[in-house]
Amino acid sequence: MPFRILSLCLALILLLIGVQSAFSQDATLTGSVKPIAAAIRVRAAPRESSETIGTLKAETNVTLLSRTGDSRWLEIQSDDVRGWVDATYIRVSDSIATLPVNPEYRVPLEMSAYIHGITGQLRLIYEQGQAMGNRADVFSKVGDSITAAPHTLHPVGEGMTNLGAYTYLQSVIDFYGRSLARDHNAFANTSLAATSGWTTTDVLDPAQAPTLCQWGESALDCEYRIVRPSISFIMFGTNDVEHMTSALYRTNMEQIISHTLARGIIPVLTTIPPRPGYENSVSAFNATLYDLSRAYSIPLIDYYATMVTLPDFGLDIDHTHPNMPPLGYEGCADFRTLNLPFGYVMRNLSLLQGLYEVWEAIGQPTA
């Protein structure tokens, strides 16, 4: 199983849904072990390397007690054992978004361990960028329609956030929100490097760059030159799965990462959500992202791992874009329990959590 680090670490940044321990035990759900394996392992802690403390046979009934912040692991109780199991193997009676997040595992262990391991690398990139004139409290958004959509972070920039149980995120919103009073709104900025329908090839192609960019300059380099961010959230692949091999996707992503690092900007990768009909390609592309995050020691937000836990994979009726909560645009930054089963809500929550983790890793700069 791929090492789910931002599963950015964030899964870089690594990801993330939940309800804090403020929820009562009444919120627990029931479930059973899916018949896709003869038995599954119960572990002492929510990570692959943790000690196996028991096994559960297929169709065994369990009570669900809590979950990790990315919903990748579930704490269960059966007649014989209490511990952690991979959520992939559990059939549940309702959405696991109603389960409380275990406060000890708000950020996945894999993410915490990885971000701790690359803290020095992230600080070095950040300091290099500051010396080059990057802005400490500004980030860029790079990607396709899921990133370009106003539902992604714009409601945060417009003050529509309801943090619910995630009040710790207010500090990072305050810091990066300082730009709201100046010439740039990092949360609600319309990125020059995020456009509907784009692939990794498009963002690197000068012919696709906006007219205000310099001759021969790609949209990616144009965004970085004008915005001068310290962090860049990068998510491509939903369109790429239709047009290219995983080998070309990797080549393009490496170019994007290299361009980002060369400007002293911390790249935060994001896995792509499920896309029915392209399951094999989505899996291969996300595996590439896991590998690149390790190879370059950069964060990864595992958006895919969060989306697969949501009803209908958190997708709209087009089976491509994330879905919205009942209040639509105004509810996309409302992180109270009833909104958590929706794709754009989790897109914004995971980005804020990733931003917080990176901000902490570089020392919570104040200037």
Q: Specify whether 253 is located in the same domain as 154.
A: yes
In terms of DSSP bridges, do strands 61-67 and 266-270 run parallel, antiparallel, or are they unpaired? unpaired
Output phi, psi for 364, to 5 deg: 45, 65
- One-letter amino acid identity for 35? P
Shortest CA distance to 351 belongs to which of 103, 119, 221, 157? 157
Burial environment of residue 63 by CB neighbours within 10 A (0 to 12, 13 to 18, 19 or more) = middle
CATH for 354? 3.40.50.1110
Q: Specify whether 38 is located in the same domain as 54.
A: yes
Q: Specify whether 277 is located in the same domain as 141.
A: yes
Give alpha helix (H) positions in the chain. Answer: 109-117, 119-131, 145-148, 154-157, 170-176, 200-204, 219-227, 240-243, 246-262, 279-295, 303-307, 343-361
- Residue ending a domain, among 46, 74, 105, is 105
Residue 13 lies in a domain: no
pLDDT of residue 46: 86
- Tell me, what DSSP letter sits at residue 17? -
Q: Specify whether 282 is located in the same domain as 172.
A: yes
Residue 193 to residues 173, 196, 248: CA-CA distances in angstroms? 22, 10, 19
Whether 102 contacts 45, CB under 8 Å: no
- Tell me, what DSSP letter sits at residue 135? -
Shortest CA distance to 86 belongs to which of 115, 113, 62? 62
Instruction: For residue 261, give its domain range.
Output: 109-361
Whether 134 contacts 263, CB under 8 Å: yes
Residue 295 lies in a domain: yes
Residue 20 lies in a domain: no
pLDDT of residue 96: 76
Q: Specify whether 153 is located in the same domain as 299.
A: yes
Q: Compute the distance between CA of residue 203 and CA of residue 19 in angstroms, rounded to an integer.
A: 36
Q: Specify whether 152 is located in the same domain as 226.
A: yes
Take residue 131 and report the two structure tokens written for it: 């010396």
Q: Specify whether 97 is located in the same domain as 143.
A: no
Residue 33 lies in a domain: yes
CATH for 95? 2.30.30.40
Q: Specify whether 337 is located in the same domain as 257.
A: yes
Q: Specify whether 76 is located in the same domain as 130.
A: no
Q: Compute the distance between CA of residue 352 and CA of residue 306 in angstroms, rounded to an integer.
A: 14
Q: Specify whether 265 is located in the same domain as 346.
A: yes
Output phi, psi for 264, to 5 deg: 70, 30
Report CA 14 to chain centroid distance, whole Å: 6
Q: Specify whether 265 is located in the same domain as 164.
A: yes
Residue 7 lies in a domain: no
Residue 356 lies in a domain: yes
Residue 261 lies in a domain: yes
pLDDT tens over the chain, length 367 residues:
443 444 444 433 333 333 333 333 344 689 999 998 889 999 998 887 789 999 999 999 999 999 887 777 899 999 989 999 988 889 988 777 778 888 777 666 666 667 777 889 999 999 999 999 999 999 999 999 999 999 999 999 999 999 988 888 999 999 998 654 455 578 988 999 999 999 999 999 999 999 999 999 999 999 999 999 999 999 999 999 999 999 999 999 999 999 999 999 999 999 999 999 999 999 999 999 999 999 999 999 999 988 988 889 999 999 999 999 999 999 999 998 889 899 999 999 999 989 998 999 999 887 6
DSSP 177-202: GGGGGTT--TTT---TTB-TT--HHH
Residue 260: Cβ within 10 Å count: 27
Residues 6 or more apart whose CB falls under 8 angstroms from that of 322 comprise 146, 151, 273, 307, 314, 315, 316, 342, 343, 344, 346, 347
Tally of domains in the chain: 2
Q: Specify whether 70 is located in the same domain as 114.
A: no
Residue 272 lies in a domain: yes
For residue 77, the surrounding DSSP H or E stretch is strand 73-77
- Residue ending a domain, among 105, 128, 146, is 105
- Residue ending a domain, among 90, 105, 120, is 105
